A and B are shown apart, each in its own frame.
Chain A
Amino acid sequence: MTKTRLFYTAITILCIVCSIASLYIQNLYLLRVFILAAITAILALSVNILVGYTGQISLGHAGFFGIGAYMVGILNVNYHISFWLCMVIAVLFSGLMGLILGLPTTKLKGHFLGIATLGFGVIVNGVLNNWMQVTGGPQGIRDIESPTLFTIPLEYGNFFLGFIVACLSLLVLVIYLLIKSPIGRAWSCLKQDEITAYVTGIHVYRYKLLAFTISGSIAGFAGSLFAGYMTFISPDTFDLNQSISIITTVILGGSGTIAGPLLGTALLAFLNEWLRNFDELRLVIYGIILVAVIVFIPEGIYPFFKNKVISIFSKRKKASQPNTSIEPHAGKDAVNE
């Protein structure tokens, strides 16, 4: 227990240090990169609930992201509702959209689900782009109020970063609790094998719907943060590319873990900025790296390195103490024979 306690304390301190350190970043460019990366990280966490923990695919998460952002934009600019209330409504509404999307699509599997969610993304983007009276069409929505938290104006990048890192930490905590709860166990069970889960008495349909709802609302939360930060939104941000880049982030980092998507976000954000040095070849190199990582480390970067580290340590242990445990497979085979 002391070890885990130490671990959690370390993480908590890390979060706090990050939040406070964010107040001292002087470079506005880095600040922007960090804030946008933090928003991407929240998105990645939301996709991870579906892809990593429940075994569902979502190729349309930009749709939820966009719905969250546009709820804030529309309510704030047209109806002058305060940002925080808008945010709550946006989160609830995108959660509701997640539920609605989930109703028909949870019956689908694998590639069908992928294409159906992709269709959802395209439909949302199409509506945002064409429903002129409400969404402003391709011009988007401008002059969204930047939020103020207890008299701290979040229009300053530093405060916003501090705020968003705090949000991210809280979210990580919430997701962690969720995963450790019976809900999380049910999810992981139905990810392994739906039929077994069903036979065990898990209400598969309901738990999938729950995953869609939670995932949608978290993505909507990211969207409302994006709207508050940029103060300008247009449909281009919420297109298929966005959906694809989120799921890429999750899988590259390592789906099904909490650290994976975070690591993936950090690495891809860094890669994106660093590759600017290559001018025209930038996206070519990006494509090559993407393929290479998937081919060589299909399980994701975080699990890969974690296993590496664990194997190094366990080798030492093995060397020090004789192995007394029976190989489980050996026994199984013996029985079969």
Chain B
Amino acid sequence: MTELIQIIVNGMANGALYALIALGLTLIYGVMNLSNFAQGEFAMIGAFGTYYFMQMHMNYLMAMILSLIVAGLIGFVIHILAFHPLRKSEPLNMMLSSLGVSVLLVNLSQYLFSPNPKVVSNSFSEDSIQAFGVFLSQQRILIVIVSLILCGFTYWLLERSKFGRSVRAASLDPDTATLYGIPTNRIAFITFVFGVALTGIAGGLTAPIYNVYPTMGISLTLKAFVVVVLGGMGNIPGAIMGGFIVGLIESFSAGYVSTAFQDVIVFSALFLVLIIKPEGILSKVQGEKV
């Protein structure tokens, strides 16, 4: 029984993290129609930022905030150089450009910071709390809380604010949105920066439990894609739910089937969802635009 609860807790804790990274990805996809394969690399930037700011004797919170600004700035520059010029071209080209950005960022950070993993530790990351034999580390609790807050905030921003309305308009039909006076290019910029900054926070949050090294983002990107597709691309509540679903599938398949086949099972589940409901779990059925 304890094992079952522990498995559920593990799955939920990981799911919150996946949801946070997927959130940025799905936002960017919605507005720019870009499958950003460099998304995880911004988590890496956030983590490295956190590490280096903490080396300068800043506290964890301060370092996280600064590193999220850094991630946003780098995202801004990359958007100008690699994505903005391609906004009118095929989505496939943008995707390829993001792959190039990913290769560039990973290897540049390896060149600058060396491949050695770096440790970030704050005052509470080492300990965990315990109830009825179920353990959860304090850092993970922090991740869950921050992730839920940010998901809620983003949801509010999109659904209730004026900015959110223009984002939704731009993602629904950019041309019409432009006709109505919505600056779609600027919206794309802001969304991209916001999306990568969210991921940057995720990086800073995971740094104490996962350590910091150049290739840390790659597996996160893959997970985020699964989450986003499961939830329906461009769908915020879908991404949040997808995050938890993937986390739970992972922990249950590891617990009751096989740890070696964990990835295979996750992706098979993805396949299943795509076959049954190609537009994602939470999406409303949409007719094709002719």
Interface residues of A (CB under 8 A from B): 51, 57, 104-105, 107-108, 110-112, 114-116, 118-120, 122-123, 126-127, 129-130, 195, 240, 244, 247-248, 251-252, 280-284, 286-288, 290-291, 294-295, 298
| Residues of chain B lying within 8 A (CB to CB) of residue A291 | 81-82, 97, 100-101, 104
Once the chains bind, are B263 and A287 in contact (CB under 8 Å)? Answer: no
Once the chains bind, are A295 and B85 in contact (CB under 8 Å)? Answer: yes
Once the chains bind, are A123 and B264 in contact (CB under 8 Å)? Answer: yes
Once the chains bind, are B267 and A122 in contact (CB under 8 Å)? Answer: yes
The answer to whether residues A104 and B275 also contact, given A283-B107, A295-B82 and a CB cut-off of 8 A, is yes
Kindly identify which residue among A51, A248, A284, A295 contacts B81, using a CB–CB cutoff of 8 Å. Answer: A295
Task: Name which of B86-94, B117-125, B143-151 contacts chain A.
Answer: B86-94
Once the chains bind, are A286 and B103 in contact (CB under 8 Å)? Answer: yes
Interface membership of B237, Cβ < 8 A: no
> In whole angstroms, what is the CA distance A58 to B91 when docked?
14
Once the chains bind, are A288 and B104 in contact (CB under 8 Å)? Answer: yes
| Residues of chain B lying within 8 A (CB to CB) of residue A240 | 222
A interface footprint on B259-275 (CB within 8 Å = 1, 0 otherwise): 01101100110110011
| Residues of chain B lying within 8 A (CB to CB) of residue A247 | 96
The answer to whether residues A290 and B93 also contact, given A108-B274, A115-B226, A284-B111 and a CB cut-off of 8 A, is no
Q: Would you give the shortest CB distance from A40 to chain B, in whole angstroms? A: 17
Once the chains bind, are A122 and B222 in contact (CB under 8 Å)? Answer: yes
Once the chains bind, are A112 and B233 in contact (CB under 8 Å)? Answer: yes
Q: Which 3 A-B pairs have the closest CB atoms?
A: A287-B104, A290-B100, A287-B103
Total cross-chain contacts (CB, 8 A): 122
Interface membership of B225, Cβ < 8 A: yes
Report which residue of A122, A195, A286, A294 has the largest number of chain B beta carbons within 10 angstroms of its beta carbon.
A294
| Residues of chain A lying within 8 A (CB to CB) of residue B258 | 130
> In whole angstroms, what is the CA distance A129 to B288 when docked?
39
Report which residue of B104, B225, B258 has the largest number of chain A beta carbons within 10 angstroms of its beta carbon.
B104
Q: Would you give the shortest CB distance from A131 to chain B, in whole angstroms? A: 9
Interface membership of B213, Cβ < 8 A: no
Task: Give the total of B residues in contact with A, Cβ under 8 Å.
Answer: 45
The answer to whether residues A111 and B29 also contact, given A195-B290, A291-B101 and a CB cut-off of 8 A, is yes
Report which residue of A120, A282, A291 has the largest number of chain B beta carbons within 10 angstroms of its beta carbon.
A291
Q: Would you give the shortest CB distance from B39 to chain A, in whole angstroms? A: 13
Kindly identify which residue among B95, B106, B271 contacts A119, using a CB–CB cutoff of 8 Å. Answer: B271
Once the chains bind, are B91 and A248 in contact (CB under 8 Å)? Answer: no
Interface membership of B142, Cβ < 8 A: no
Given contacts A119-B267, A287-B104, A294-B82, 13 further A-B contacts (CB under 8 A): A104-B275, A107-B278, A108-B274, A110-B91, A111-B29, A112-B278, A112-B279, A123-B271, A130-B260, A195-B288, A240-B222, A288-B104, A290-B100
Kindly identify which residue among A114, A116, A195, A252 contacts B271, using a CB–CB cutoff of 8 Å. Answer: A116
Once the chains bind, are B274 and A116 in contact (CB under 8 Å)? Answer: yes
> In whole angstroms, what is the CA distance A248 to B91 when docked?
14
Interface membership of B99, Cβ < 8 A: yes
> In whole angstroms, what is the CA distance A291 to B102 when docked?
10
Once the chains bind, are B97 and A116 in contact (CB under 8 Å)? Answer: no
Report which residue of A57, A120, A247, A288 has the largest number of chain B beta carbons within 10 angstroms of its beta carbon.
A288
| Residues of chain B lying within 8 A (CB to CB) of residue A120 | 267, 271
Of chain B, the residue at the smallest CB distance from A110 is B91
Of chain B, the residue at the smallest CB distance from A194 is B288
Kindly identify which residue among A108, A130, A195, A298 contacts B261, using a CB–CB cutoff of 8 Å. Answer: A130
Interface membership of B27, Cβ < 8 A: no
Interface membership of B35, Cβ < 8 A: yes
Interface membership of B229, Cβ < 8 A: yes
Of chain B, the residue at the smallest CB distance from A252 is B96
| Residues of chain B lying within 8 A (CB to CB) of residue A284 | 104, 107-108, 111
> In whole angstroms, what is the CA distance A149 to B275 when docked?
44
Of chain A, the residue at the smallest CB distance from B289 is A195
Kindly identify which residue among A107, A114, A119, A287 contacts B107, using a CB–CB cutoff of 8 Å. Answer: A287
Of chain A, the residue at the smallest CB distance from B290 is A195
| Residues of chain B lying within 8 A (CB to CB) of residue A244 | 99
| Residues of chain A lying within 8 A (CB to CB) of residue B288 | 195
Of chain A, the residue at the smallest CB distance from B105 is A287
| Residues of chain B lying within 8 A (CB to CB) of residue A111 | 29, 35, 91, 95, 229, 233
Q: Would you give the shortest CB distance from A281 to chain B, in whole angstroms? A: 6
Of chain B, the residue at the smallest CB distance from A124 is B264
Of chain A, the residue at the smallest CB distance from B280 is A112
| Residues of chain B lying within 8 A (CB to CB) of residue A294 | 82, 86, 93, 96-97, 100
Kindly identify which residue among A105, A195, A251, A283 contacts B274, using a CB–CB cutoff of 8 Å. Answer: A105
Once the chains bind, are B99 and A248 in contact (CB under 8 Å)? Answer: yes
| Residues of chain A lying within 8 A (CB to CB) of residue B86 | 294-295, 298
| Residues of chain B lying within 8 A (CB to CB) of residue A283 | 103, 106-107
A sample of 20 inter-chain contacts (CB < 8 A) reads A108-B278, A111-B35, A111-B91, A111-B95, A112-B278, A115-B270, A118-B222, A120-B271, A123-B271, A126-B264, A130-B260, A247-B96, A281-B107, A286-B107, A290-B104, A294-B82, A294-B86, A294-B97, A298-B86, A298-B93
